[in-house]
């Protein structure tokens, strides 16, 4: 019971943020106009964007597999990526990130959970850096203020510092391990568990010290973002035929930052709020902007739902079953820390 109460307390702030944003959006839009816009949309462009969602996931699997040094099979990485995004869409605490490390560690015998986690951290850090670059690139054209990019610079700088710190740790892993053992000498359980985890963690970080491997990762990552940008532009054009590419660039940047705000699972409310805010910098039609945002929501759900459910079904798993396994895994890790 106490565990359930703690879970509710942790997810409640995000749910409240989502509810407030949904209420604000509904206050400013006319639902009839939104429905009319959805009926009159260019479904040919939306269909192309929908097909690109699967191309995006296929390339994202290459991105992740590159960080994993191609050790798992592409099929395992592809389905696990879909399962992870599916978990993020419907479960709290962004469990999809932990979930895909957990699920892939069970499929590939040669990789441990601790080795896989750093690759997800690196992937997310670079995602945030690219989103900051996109946001910065579009912002001067949206807001005529020299000080407007400050927040983007700060966020991008912090992400670059984080990536640099990971690189330093990867290059000096033995020093970091020795320091950890020295500081944790009085806590034998922490030293035993933490030392084992850190050894695997640093092994996963080794990708940062392989220049050619990291360049290949960056190539596929940038290509992955280009696919997303093209798909977003097509969806914007489906509702605003006169839209410029800048609309999609700014919308994609805002959506990435909107997903980082605490919210209900799947960034419900924050994602739509970010897209509507972005598009209304160029148009006064909030209702049609909401129609575009809802279409983008379906775009984000399409590939993860289809591929994620296919992956879970092929493994004899269910969404609720994976959630229970993740909770048990988390509880076991906590028990180890205090044993």
Tell me the DSSP string of 53-80: HHHHHHHHHHHHHHHTTT-S-HHHHHHH
pTM of the model: 0.81
Note whether residue 269 is domain-resident: yes
Note whether residue 275 is domain-resident: yes
Note whether residue 12 is domain-resident: no
Note whether residue 13 is domain-resident: no
Residue 88 CA to residue 254 CA, distance in Å, equals 19
- Compute, in degrees rounded to 10, the torsion defined by CA atoms 204, 208, 209, 214: 120
What per-residue confidence (pLDDT) applies to 315?
84
Residue 33 CA to residue 326 CA, distance in Å, equals 42
- In the chain, how many domains are there? 1
Nearest to 336 by CA among 190, 141, 145: 190
How confident is the prediction along the chain (339 residues), in pLDDT tens digits per residue? Answer: 445 555 556 666 667 777 887 888 888 889 999 999 999 999 999 999 999 999 999 999 999 999 998 999 999 999 999 999 998 887 766 778 888 888 898 887 678 888 888 888 888 878 887 887 788 777 777 776 554 556 556 666 766 777 777 777 777 777 777 777 777 767 666 666 565 666 666 666 677 777 788 889 989 999 999 999 999 999 999 999 999 999 999 999 888 877 666 556 667 778 888 899 899 989 989 999 999 999 999 998 999 899 999 998 888 888 778 878 887 776 666 555 445
What per-residue confidence (pLDDT) applies to 4?
53
Nearest to 248 by CA among 299, 197, 195, 213: 299
With b for 16 or more beta-carbon neighbours within 10 A and e for fewer, the 45-64 pattern comes to: bbeebbebbeebbbbbbbbb
Note whether residue 214 is domain-resident: yes
- Expressed as residue numbers, the domain containing 314 is 41-338
E strands of the chain, at which residues?
Answer: none
DSSP 265: G
Residue 153 CA to residue 157 CA, distance in Å, equals 6
Note whether residue 14 is domain-resident: no
Note whether residue 33 is domain-resident: no
Residue 192 CA to residue 194 CA, distance in Å, equals 6
Taking the alpha carbons of 238, 240, 243, 247 in that order, is the dihedral positive or negative?
Answer: negative
Note whether residue 5 is domain-resident: no
Using the structure block, give the residue that is written with the tokens 């985890």.
197
Say if residues 64 and 81 touch (Cβ distance below 8 Å): yes
Token pair belonging to 128: 């945030």
What per-residue confidence (pLDDT) applies to 112?
84
């Amino acid at each position: 019971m106490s565990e359930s109460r703690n879970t509710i307390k942790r997810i409640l702030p995000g749910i409240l943020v989502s509810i407030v944003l949904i209420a604000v959006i509904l206050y400013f839009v006319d639902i009839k106009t939104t429905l009319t816009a959805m009926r009159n949309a260019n479904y040919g462009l939306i269909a192309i964007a929908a097909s690109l969602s699967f191309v995006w996931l296929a390339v994202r699997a290459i991105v992740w597999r590159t960080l994993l040094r191609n050790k798992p099979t592409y099929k395992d990485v592809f389905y696990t990526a879909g399962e992870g995004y599916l978990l993020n869409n419907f479960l709290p605490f962004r469990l999809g990130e932990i979930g895909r490390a957990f699920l892939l560690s069970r499929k590939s015998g040669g990789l441990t959970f601790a080795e896989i986690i750093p690759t997800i951290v690196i992937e997310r850090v670079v995602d945030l850096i690219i989103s900051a670059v996109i946001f910065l690139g579009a912002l001067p054209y949206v807001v005529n203020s020299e000080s407007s990019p400050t927040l983007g610079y700060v966020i991008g700088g912090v992400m670059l510092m984080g990536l640099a710190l990971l690189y330093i740790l990867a290059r000096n892993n033995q020093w970091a391990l020795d320091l950890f053992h020295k500081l944790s000498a009085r806590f034998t359980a922490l030293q035993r568990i933490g030392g084992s985890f850190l050894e695997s963690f640093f092994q996963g970080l080794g990708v940062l010290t392989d220049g050619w491997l990291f360049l290949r990762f960056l190539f596929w990552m940038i290509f992955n973002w280009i696919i997303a940008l093209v798909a977003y532009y097509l969806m914007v054009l489906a509702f605003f035929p006169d839209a410029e590419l800048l609309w999609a660039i700014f919308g994609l940047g805002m959506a990435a930052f909107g997903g980082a705000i605490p919210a209900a699972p799947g960034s419900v409310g924050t994602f739509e709020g970010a897209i509507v805010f972005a598009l209304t910098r160029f148009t006064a039609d909030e209702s049609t902007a909401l129609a575009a945002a809802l279409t983008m929501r379906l775009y984000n759900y399409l590939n993860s739902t289809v591929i994620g459910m296919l992956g879970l079904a092929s493994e004899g798993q269910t969404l609720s079953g994976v959630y229970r396994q993740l909770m048990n895994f988390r509880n076991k890790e906590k028990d180890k820390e205090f044993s």
